Chain A
Amino acid sequence: MSSVKDWAAPNPITENRSGLIGKSVDRYEGRLKVTGTAPYAYEVEPPAPPAYGQMVTATIARGRITHIETQAAEQSPGVLAVWTHLNVPPQARRGERLNPRSQRPANPALASDRVEFYGQTVAFILADTLENARAAAEKVEITYAAETAVVDFLASLDQGELPPGEEDVHIGDFPKAFAASQVTVDETYFSPIQNHVQMEPCATTAWWDGDKVTVHTSIQMVKGGQHALAETLAIPSDRVHLITRYIGGGFGGKGQAYDDLTLAALAARAVGRPVKVAYTRQQMFHGTIHRPAVQMRVRLGANADGRLNAFALEAITHCARHATFTEHAANFSRNLYAAPNRLTGHRLVRMDIPHAGAMRAPGEAPGMLSLECAMDELAEKLGLDPIELRLRNEPDVDPETGKPFSVRQLEQCLHEGSQRFGWSRRNPKPGQVRDGRWLVGMGMAAAIRGNFLLPAKAGLRITADGVLTLTQGMTDIGTGTYTILAQITAETLGVPLEQVRVELGDSDMPPAPGSGGQFGAATAGSAAYETGMVMRRTLADLATGDPRSPLYGADPTLVSFANGNIALDNQTETLAALVARSQPEGVYVEGSISPAADARDYSQHTYGAHFAEVGVDVVTGEVRMRKMFGVFAAGRILNGKTARSQVTGGMIWGVGTALTEANTIDPRFGSFANQDLGTYLVPVHADIVDLDAIFLDEADDKANPMGIKGVGELGICGAGAAVANAIYNACGVRLRDYPMTPDKVLEGLMAKGL
C-alpha cells in the first residue's frame, strides 16, 4: 500500500506546465446537453421498438394487499402485461446475495402483498405506448387491509434508539463542564424532510440479447446498479451490461437502483422486446429516498472570553422500519471547534414511511444548520463578532482525534470572506437597517465537509491518430466529471485538450465507485492520473526501444511529454507518429489508485465560510436573499468553472433550505404533503440575485497525488445557517425551525411587536 509521502513529489498535474489544471474549461458534454442531443436513459434508442412500463403505487402507509382487480387494466388498449405480487416473474429474495462480493444485494419489485410505505410499487403495467400504459394504470383497483402505521416523527421522538453499532461519543465531562460554563446556549433546531427533486426522474431502457441484458439507467454508481440488478434477477453480474452516460442530477438520490431498473429488465425479458420504465415526478417523492428530518439539541458552554469549554450536539432522526439509514447530523462537529468536554450522538426512530437516504452532504447539510446558528447565538450572548468567536475556537489539531490536519484554511476563509463581502458593514444589533419595507441583515457560517479517496481504476487508449481515450466505469451526474478527466489526461500526457476523449458510465469499463460523498473528482481523477502515468511510461519505453524513433536508446525515465510530443533534448516526435509507426493497432493501459495506508493519520476536510445578506419584509415576513458570498478551501481546483458551479449550486441549496425547501408527512395518510415542483419549492432564478464564490489557493498533498479535494457537497454545508443568521440580524427574530417561511417569520415579528 502506498503512503501519502509517495504523493509529495512533483508530477505533471502539480507542475501543470500547459496550465490546463484549474482552467475554466467548458463542459466536455455541454453542447450535447444544451442542444438536447445527449440521450438520457429514457431517451436512448433501443435496437427494436420498445414497450412502455408504468408503475402503480400504494396509497396506504402500512398493511397488506387483499385484492387487486386488474381485469379492466388488462383489457385496456395496447396493454401487454399487468403484474402484481401474484404474477411477477421470479426474483431473488430481498437482501439475498448470490455473489458475496456483490456491492448491492437483491432488491425485488412487487415482492409480496406487504405494503411498507405509501408510494411503494404494487403493480406494473406494460403497454405499447406510454399513454396506454398510464391510462391502464389508472384502472387498477387495489383493496388493502391497512394496519396502524407510525408516520409522525415529532410525535415519535421518544422512540429513538441508538443506530445499530453506534454509541454516543463522550470526551471529558460534558455535563459538569456545561454546568460550570459562564455563558451557555441550549437550543433545539429542526431540519425537515427534503427531497432531491432531480430534473431527470429515475428511468431505465432495457433490452436482452440472449441471456445478457443491457440497461441504460440513471444511477450514480455503475457497479452498485449492475450488482443489484444481477442479484435481483439471480444471474451473474457479467450478464448485466449497465450504461449510465448522462444523468440529470443525482444528489445521492440515485446512489442505488430502484424498481424502474428491475421492472424494465424483467419486462423486456418477458415480452422479448426493449422496455422503457420511468418514475413520474410524483412517484419520485415516495418511491425513491429522501433526506430525513432531524431534530438537534445543541448545548454550548463558553468562558467569558469566548472559548468553548463544553460542546454537545445530539440529533434525533428517522428511517424506514426495514431500511436502516442514519443521517449523521452530529459527525461533522467532531472535527470543527475546539472544546475539551464534548458529547455527540444520534438516535434513530423507525417509521412506516418511504426510505430515508443520502442527500447532498448527508450529515453536514442538516447538522450545520443547528451548530452554526447556535454559534451565532453564543456570539451575541458573549458580545463577540461571530467570526471572532469561531477564530477563538479554532483548534490546533483535530479536536477529537488529536490528529494533525492535512491542511485547514478555515481561518483564511473567514478572513478573506469577511473582507470581500464587506462584513464590517454589519450592525451587530438586530433590526437596525431598513431599506423601504425591508429590514436588512447579514449573517455568516462556517463550512466543513470531509474528503475521501476510494479505490478506482481507469483505462486509457491511444490510437494511431494520437487521440487518447479515457474509459472509466465512473459517472458524471452533472458535476463536470467528463471535463476534469479530460483535463487531467491532457495535462498528464502533455497533449491539447482536443486530443482527449472521455467515455464513462459503462459496467464493461474499469470500475470506479461513482459519484457521491464528494469523492468523485479525487477518486476518479486520481485513477485517471495514475493511468496517464502508466501510459507515459509505456510510450516512453515504446519510443526508446524502437530503432526507428528519434528517441531510440535514450533513458525512458528522462523523456518529457508536451504539445502532443514525446521528447528528449532535441529529439522529438509526435505521439501520433510514435503510435502509428511502433504500435499501429494502438496502446491500451490501465491504472489504479488506492487510499494511502497513512492517509487517515491526518484529519482531512474541506472548509469554507458563507456570508449572506437578506431582506425581511416587515409587514409580511417574506425573506429575500440579497447577496451571498462563499470562500472555500478544497485543495487544488481542477476546473475553475465547474468547481465554482458546484459550490454556488450548494449555496443555492442552502438558500432553499433556509427559506422554502421542506416536505412533511401528512399523518392522516402517511404520504408527503408536497408531491410536485409546484409545492416542493426550490429557489428559482429570481431568488438568487447576487451570489458568488471563490476558492483559496491550496494543495493537499495528503489527499491524493494531485492534491485535489472534493467540492460537490462543501457548498451546501452551513449555507442555510448563514441565511438564518442573516434573518436574525435583519429583524431580531431567531427561528430554529427550517425552512423560515413567511408564516414563521411573521409570527416572530408579531411576537416582537413589529
Chain B
Amino acid sequence: MKPFTYERASDVASAIQAVSQTPGARYLAGGTNLLDLMKLEIETPTHLVDVSRLPLATIEASAEGGVRLGAMTRNSQVAAHPDIRARYPALVQAIVSGGSGQLRNKATTAGNLMQRTRCSFFYDTAKPCNKRQPGSGCSALGSLSRANAIFGASEACVATHPSDMAVALVALDAQIETLRPDGTSRSLAVADLHRLPGTSPETESELAADELITSVNLPPPAPGGQLYRKVRARASYVGGLASVAVAGGRLVLGAVALKPWRAETAEAALASGASRTEAAMAELAQAQDPDQNAGKIALVRRLLGAVLDETNTGRGA
C-alpha cells in the first residue's frame, strides 16, 4: 500500500473542498472496495477524506411522493426500511443479494454505485489491464472468464459493473443528487451515471473526481410488478453471472455490461406487442458473442424471459 493521509470531514462543504484542493484525494465511504484496491495498489490515493460520518444517512419521504436515500445510508439500513420494503421490493432483493451481511452493514448507497469492477485481471496487478493501466491491453479478452460483458464492451475492456443495487435503481428510475466544489448541485439518472468503456475504460462515471453524491432519489414506484433476480454459482457472497431487474415495465440487466444495461430493445418489442420470448430474443440479438460468452447470452435470454413471465410483464408466448 502507498502511504496516504486521512481526514474525517466535519461537514459536506469542507469534505468537497478537501478533495477538490488536494491532488490525488478520494472520498472514503464504507471502504469495502476502495481499501481492498489500495492494499493491492490498484487505487493509490494520496489523501482520503472520510465522508462516512457526514449527516447524509437518513431515509425520508420526498416531495414527489418517492423516497430520498441519503448517500451515506448503509445498504442493510436501506434494505430493512419498511417503506422501501413495501414500495421498492426489487431494490431490497437487489441489495440483499449483494456482498455479505457484514459488507452490507458497512457499504453505503453512494459507495455501492461507485464500486469498481471485479474483473479478476483488474485485481491481478501482474497482468495487463487498460482500466488499471491505460494502454497496457485487456487480459480478460480471450481469457477463460465467463464474467465478461456481452453488451457495450470494447476492444479495450470487457469488464462488467458489479453492483446489484444499481441494476434495481435503474429499473426504478432513480436519480442521484450531487454537490460540486462551486456549491452547485445537479441531478443525474443512475442510468446515466456509468460510462461504457469505449477507448478509455479507466474513466468509469460521469462524475468529476471531487463531485460528491449526496442522495439517491427514488420516484414513486411505477405501477406493475417488481422483481430482481440474480443468477450465481453459489447461494450468497458472490458476483452474479447475470441478473435482471424489472420494475414498472422497465427492464434492466446486470453483470452484462460496464453499467446496468437497460434492455430498451426488449421494452420496445413488448410495447409493440411482441411476446416475452420474442422480446428477450430481440434484446439478446444485439449481444456480443465472443466464444466464451455463448452460454451467457443464452442464460440472459432465458432469465429475462422467466422474469417477465413471473412479473407478468408484457404478453405471454
Neighbouring B residues of A59 by C-beta, 8 Å: 126
Q: Is B223 an interface residue (CB 8 A)?
A: no
Q: Is A6 an interface residue (CB 8 A)?
A: no
B231 touching A135 by the CB < 8 A rule?
no
CA distance A683 to B232 in the complex (A): 12
Residue of B nearest to A744 (CB): B295
Q: Is B296 an interface residue (CB 8 A)?
A: yes
B302 touching A675 by the CB < 8 A rule?
no
Stretch at the interface among B137-145, B150-158, B198-206, B264-272: B137-145
B299 touching A742 by the CB < 8 A rule?
yes
CA distance A379 to B39 in the complex (A): 53
Chain B's nearest CB lies how many Å from the CB of A280? 9
CA distance A260 to B306 in the complex (A): 52
Given A131-B1, A743-B296, A746-B299, A679:B233 Cβ within 8 A: no
Q: Is B303 an interface residue (CB 8 A)?
A: yes
Given A673-B144, A675-B124, A687:B241 Cβ within 8 A: no
- For A620, give its contact among B100, B146, B237, B302 (CB under 8 Å): B302
B298 touching A681 by the CB < 8 A rule?
no
Chain A's nearest CB lies how many Å from the CB of B233? 5
Q: Mark B102-137, 1 if CB is under 8 A from A, else 0.
A: 000000000000000010100110110000000000
Q: How many chain A residues touch the partner (CB < 8 A)?
A: 38
- For B144, give its contact among A666, A676, A750 (CB under 8 Å): A666
Q: Is B208 an interface residue (CB 8 A)?
A: no
Residue of A nearest to B145 (CB): A673
Chain B's nearest CB lies how many Å from the CB of A197? 14
Neighbouring A residues of B2 by C-beta, 8 Å: 135
CA distance A138 to B238 in the complex (A): 29
Q: Is B317 an interface residue (CB 8 A)?
A: no
B41 touching A138 by the CB < 8 A rule?
yes
Given A621-B299, A743-B241, A659:B233 Cβ within 8 A: yes
Q: Mark A121-156, 1 if CB is under 8 A from B, else 0.
A: 000000000010011001000000000000000000
A742 touching B241 by the CB < 8 A rule?
yes
Neighbouring B residues of A684 by C-beta, 8 Å: 100, 234-238
Question: Across the A-B interface, how many residue pairs have beta carbons closer than 8 Å?
Answer: 90
Q: Is B3 an interface residue (CB 8 A)?
A: yes
Q: Is A188 an interface residue (CB 8 A)?
A: no
CA distance A668 to B128 in the complex (A): 12
CA distance A131 to B1 in the complex (A): 7
- For A686, give its contact among B146, B235, B298 (CB under 8 Å): B235
A742 touching B234 by the CB < 8 A rule?
no
CA distance A664 to B127 in the complex (A): 16
Residue of A nearest to B2 (CB): A135
Q: Mark B213-246, 1 if CB is under 8 A from A, else 0.
A: 0000000000000000001111111110100000
Neighbouring A residues of B238 by C-beta, 8 Å: 678, 681, 684
B145 touching A620 by the CB < 8 A rule?
no
B145 touching A668 by the CB < 8 A rule?
no
Q: Mark A673-697, 1 if CB is under 8 A from B, else 0.
A: 1111011010111110000000000
Residue of A nearest to B235 (CB): A686
Q: Is A295 an interface residue (CB 8 A)?
A: no
Q: Mark A620-643, 1 if CB is under 8 A from B, else 0.
A: 111010000000000000000000
Q: Is A91 an interface residue (CB 8 A)?
A: no
- For A675, give its contact among B120, B145, B233, B296 (CB under 8 Å): B120
B235 touching A741 by the CB < 8 A rule?
no
B41 touching A619 by the CB < 8 A rule?
no
CA distance A666 to B292 in the complex (A): 14
B232 touching A622 by the CB < 8 A rule?
yes
Neighbouring A residues of B39 by C-beta, 8 Å: 134
Query: Interface of B with A (CB < 8 Å)?
Result: 1-3, 39, 41, 100, 118, 120, 123-124, 126-127, 139, 142-146, 231-239, 241, 295-296, 298-299, 302-303, 305-306
16 interchain pairs (CB within 8 A)?
A77-B3, A131-B1, A135-B1, A620-B303, A666-B144, A673-B145, A675-B123, A678-B118, A684-B235, A687-B236, A742-B232, A742-B233, A743-B146, A743-B295, A746-B298, A750-B298
Given A624-B235, A746-B299, 14 extra CB contacts under 8 A:
A135-B2, A619-B306, A620-B231, A620-B303, A660-B233, A664-B144, A666-B143, A671-B126, A675-B123, A681-B233, A687-B235, A742-B231, A742-B232, A743-B296
Query: Interface of A with B (CB < 8 Å)?
Result: 59, 77, 131, 134-135, 138, 437, 617, 619-622, 624, 659-660, 664, 666, 668-669, 671, 673-676, 678-679, 681, 683-687, 741-743, 746-747, 750
The 6 closest A-B pairs by CB, nearest first: A686-B235, A686-B236, A743-B295, A59-B126, A619-B306, A620-B231
